[in-house]
Amino acid sequence: MPMITTQCAICEEKESIHELYKARVNMKKISGKTFSARRTPDSMHYRFVKCNRCGLIFSNPILPLDKISNFYEKSTFDYSTESNFLKKTYGFYLQKILPRKRSNLRLLDIGCGNGFFLEEAKALGIGSVYGIEPGKASAQEAPRWLQKNIKIEILEKGIFPDNSFDIICCFHTLDHIVDPSEFLTAIFRMLKKDGKVLFIVHDTDGMSVKLFGEKSPIFDIEHVYLFNKKTLPMLFAKNKFTVQKTFPVKNTYPLSYWMRMMPLPFGLKKSLIQILKKTKFFNVPISLRAGNIGIIARK
């Protein structure tokens, strides 16, 4: 299958890079399931490189955009249990940028899945909520009242009019984008003056990378660009945003989820899960700063 070359999204550098990890890709096993969110880690990833100038980590080379888009269109929504925890986590950080008067606000969630976060935003008092989701199966899982506000496609220029939204959120989607600058430019145009963005992404300096290195779940074939507290604000500043805050994110999930995502040998993981299932701890919620960071920026 033909591949395309990428470049540093910050420096636009193609040559001044060095290899971090060699590619681990079995093209015969790639499908829409491979590009479904929060699947069990399979250690499959492109070749990862690091920019010698700014330190941004990215995949190079990668599949063409049309191939990637096709896989996302066929992806499925398989994390309904986890989404109940995610909506509270994302809602917690959203409240940090919300004014007291919220009923006239318009919010967009890019990569909204089944709309679980949009439901939370609505519950927090935001007047109008909208989503963009490439996976048709995921969007069709949204409540009927919300489906009419979700566009089933990828973000492109003109998908919504300029100056449409007070807040645009994007959770674990920027890591997947083939051209982050083009992506952020489109978002910048859709924001109203002084509008804000809230993004959450993986952290290449996070605990999971420190513990597991290449075996960390963040080194995945879905991820094209990966960030840390230095490179994430650099990318936003490059694309005209005023960065207000970059912060570590604490996630809460049942112990069963943390175990499923740990890159342990299959046999060992299966045995541990079977043991935990027999205890009261299997579904106990645990909060960790396992390796995510967030950013708040304004237009």
Quick one: CA torsion of 78, 205, 249, 238, rounded to 10 degrees? -100
Task: Say which range, 64-68, 275-279, 287-291, has the weakest mean pLDDT.
Answer: 275-279
The answer to whether 109 and 87 are in contact (CB under 8 A) is no
Range of the domain at 204: 17-80+170-298
Q: What is the DSSP letter of 45?
A: B
pTM: 0.91
Buried b (16+ CB within 10 A) or exposed e, 80-98: eebbebbbebbbebbeebb
User: Could you give the angle at the alpha carbon of 86 between the alpha carbons of 229 and 88, nearest 5°?
Assistant: 100
**Residue the block writes with tokens 């006239």:** 104
The answer to whether 210 and 283 are in contact (CB under 8 A) is no
User: Could you give the angle at the alpha carbon of 160 between the alpha carbons of 83 and 10, nearest 5°?
Assistant: 75
Residue 109 lies in a domain: no
Name the average pLDDT for the chain.
91
Q: Look at the chain and report how many structural domains it folds into.
A: 1
Span 48-91, pLDDT tens digits: 999 999 999 999 999 998 888 888 877 765 656 778 889 999 99
**Residue the block writes with tokens 């804000």:** 196
Residue 151 lies in a domain: no
Residue 38: predicted pLDDT? 55
The answer to whether 267 and 66 are in contact (CB under 8 A) is no
Residue 97: predicted pLDDT? 96
Phi, psi of 109 (to 5 degrees): -115, 120
Phi, psi of 284 (to 5 degrees): -75, 125
- Indicate which CATH number applies to the domain containing 29: 3.40.50
| pLDDT mean over 100-116 | 95
299 band by pLDDT with thresholds 50, 70 and 90: very high
Span 143-157, pLDDT tens digits: 999 999 999 999 988
Residue 103 lies in a domain: no
Residue 121 lies in a domain: no
For 18-31, the three-class secondary structure string (H helix, E strand, C coil) is EEEECCECCHHHCC
Sign of CA dihedral 27, 32, 37, 41: negative
User: What percent of the chain is predicted at pLDDT more than 70?
Assistant: 95
Residue 175 lies in a domain: yes
Residue 97 lies in a domain: no
The answer to whether 298 and 257 are in contact (CB under 8 A) is no
Q: Based on C-alpha coordinates, what's the Rg of the chain? A: 19
- Residue in 287, 199, 178 with CA at minimum distance from that of residue 245: 199
Residue 142 lies in a domain: no
Round to the nearest angstrom and report the end-to-end CA distance of the chain: 40
Residue 47 lies in a domain: yes
Span 217-250, pLDDT tens digits: 999 999 999 999 999 999 999 999 999 999 999 9
Q: Which helix (H) or strand (E) holds 210?
A: helix 207-212
